[in-house]
Amino acid sequence: MTSPHATEPRKRPKGLRRLLRILGPGLVTGAADDDPSGIATYSQTGAQFGYGQLWTALFMYPLMTAVQEACARIGAVTKKGIAQVVREHYGRSVLYASVFLILIANTVNIGADIGAMAAAAGLIVPVPFAAATLLFVAIILLLEIFVPYKHYVPVLKWLALSLIVYPLTVLMIHIPWHEVLRATFVPHFEFTFGFFFIITGVVGTTISPYMFFWQASEEVEEERAAGMISRPLSGRFIRNMRIDNAVGMFASEFITWCIIIVTGTVLNQNGVTNIATAADAAKALVPLVHTFENAGFIAGAIFAVGVIGLGLLAVPVLAGSAAYALAEAFHWHEGLYRKFREAHGFYGVITIATLVGLLINFVGIDPMKALIVTAVLNGVVSIPLIFLIIAISSNKEIMKGHESGMLSKVVLWISFVAVLGAAVGMLGGFL
């Protein structure tokens, strides 16, 4: 399977075949945003507030799309990752602080995701938790380190199909669609610490720094895989990149919407208002869905399968984005196109972050409690990074004719204000 939007085919496919060829870093990044930890955050949102925060899925879509499009465009135009561009053109102190925080946040996120995947597997087959975590980690590291990029990308794209399980779950329960549609389009606020804490967590999960670094670097990998790294950037590449990005971010927010609907309908309305993990959400569905015989078990199993599939996609993205950020910040050899012996530091970060994430599940640290803190931390770290992304993507010298237009600038600044406002609102609720 060739690189999606980097190719310049002699005979262009049409319709669905063309779309499938275009989809790549945008789809993978969007799907990775709905990782097991994200599923837990959205499940907690639905369980605690019902449909009260359903509007965030619609509101966040244009903001998420604009931020990720800018990141992808920076990578495609400069042929460098975000960290390298910041290192070359802006102050290193902000870069180093951000990279350090991202490494910590991603590692905790990896730990929570691995634990959720193992717990979800236990809901489907009787496998010991420790054995499941070791199996998943072995699969993830072997694929990411030893499979060449051009062969690894199709694996990630197929794993993105795990997203479809959540719309299937929606179809299995009775939904009060008039309430859902109203909650989707009419924002609801509660001026409490708890409400803004979860909002900040949702924002930090949706507009997350690891996605910035990953998508920019993957656009460079796409160009390199297609032999375009030394050629001028074509208008077709930019158009296809934007389609890929828009589809990927839509898929991400649509799944967020579905998860909040399911948990808001089934859990919140049955008095279940606290979810510790994504696997807990799947387990809680079993006795509460009565649409038809065995509907609860099927709904829970489908939910659990999604947790596993998206975890296998998201963990390498989390580890890889941390590796890209650290390698670019310190000028190491990096890239999934390189062999292990050519980029020891890069693959070392991937390995260490994944293994430390694994250990978190066995040393007494509650990964989900730590995860809530890191989701909020991501929301806070996003503030200076989005500011830098706005500056870079609008810089004529750096972007060479592909700088942000007026619409992109406006939505990027709205994103900046939204992330800042969520953080300030949480702080105000705490005080």
pLDDT (tens digit per residue) in 184-221: 999 998 888 778 778 877 887 888 888 999 999 999 88
Question: Other C-beta atoms within 10 Å of 157: how many?
Answer: 18
Supply the pLDDT for residue 262: 92
| DSSP class of 421 | H
Burial track 161-177 (b if 16+ CB lie within 10 A, e otherwise): ebbebbeebbebbeeee
Of all residues in the chain, the percent with pLDDT exceeding 90 is 38
Confidence check: pLDDT of 1 > 50? no
Tell me the mean pLDDT in the region 165-170.
Answer: 87
Residues 6+ apart with CB under 8 A from 250: 30, 61, 65
pLDDT band at 131 (very low <50, low <70, confident <90, very high): very high
Among positive and negative, which fits the CA dihedral 176, 180, 186, 188? Answer: positive
Mean pLDDT is lowest, of 33-47, 146-160, 220-234, 408-422, for 220-234
Reading the block at residue 344, the tokens are 């020891």
pTM over 0.85: yes
Q: Is residue 226 part of a domain?
A: yes
Q: Is residue 408 part of a domain?
A: yes
Distance (Å, whole) CA 419 – CA 207: 8
Q: Are 350 and 145 in contact (CB under 8 A)?
A: yes
Mean pLDDT is lowest, of 6-20, 113-127, 146-160, 415-429, for 6-20
Reading the block at residue 118, the tokens are 């193992």
Distance (Å, whole) CA 329 – CA 61: 29
Supply the pLDDT for residue 368: 61
Q: Tokens 């975000």, residue?
A: 82
Q: Is residue 3 part of a domain?
A: no
Residues 6+ apart with CB under 8 A from 202: 41, 42, 45, 53, 56, 60
Total structural domains within the chain: 1
Which amino acid belongs to residue 119?
A: A
Distance (Å, whole) CA 117 – CA 106: 16
Q: Which residue has the higher pLDDT, 181 or 370?
A: 181
Tell me the mean pLDDT in the region 329-333.
Answer: 90
DSSP 23-76: -SHHHHHHHHHT-HHHHHHHHHHHHHHTTTTTHHHHHHHHHHHHHHHHHHHHHH
HSE, CB side, 13 Å, CA atoms: give it for residue 384.
Answer: 16
Which residues form the domain of 315?
15-430
Which amino acid belongs to residue 36?
A: P
Confidence check: pLDDT of 431 > 80? no
Supply the pLDDT for residue 375: 67
Domain containing residue 324: CATH number: 1.20.1740
Q: Tokens 């790294």, residue?
A: 229
Q: Which of 75, 103, 147, 136 lies closest to 318 in space, CA to CA?
A: 103
Q: Is residue 80 part of a domain?
A: yes
Supply the pLDDT for residue 159: 84
Distance (Å, whole) CA 247 – CA 345: 33
Q: Is residue 308 part of a domain?
A: yes
Mean pLDDT of the chain: 85
Name the phi and psi angles at 231, rounded to 5: -100, 155
Q: Which residue has the higher pLDDT, 425 or 329?
A: 329
Q: Is residue 50 part of a domain?
A: yes
Q: Is residue 214 part of a domain?
A: yes
Burial of 406 by CB count in 10 Å (0-12 exposed, 13-18 middle, 19+ buried)? exposed
Reading the block at residue 175, the tokens are 């939904």
Supply the pLDDT for residue 11: 58
Confidence check: pLDDT of 224 > 80? yes
Confidence check: pLDDT of 62 > 60? yes
Q: Are 120 and 307 in contact (CB under 8 A)?
A: yes
Distance (Å, whole) CA 107 – CA 370: 11
Mean pLDDT is lowest, of 209-223, 237-251, 417-431, for 417-431
| DSSP class of 233 | P
Distance (Å, whole) CA 344 – CA 34: 29
Reading the block at residue 281, the tokens are 């959400």
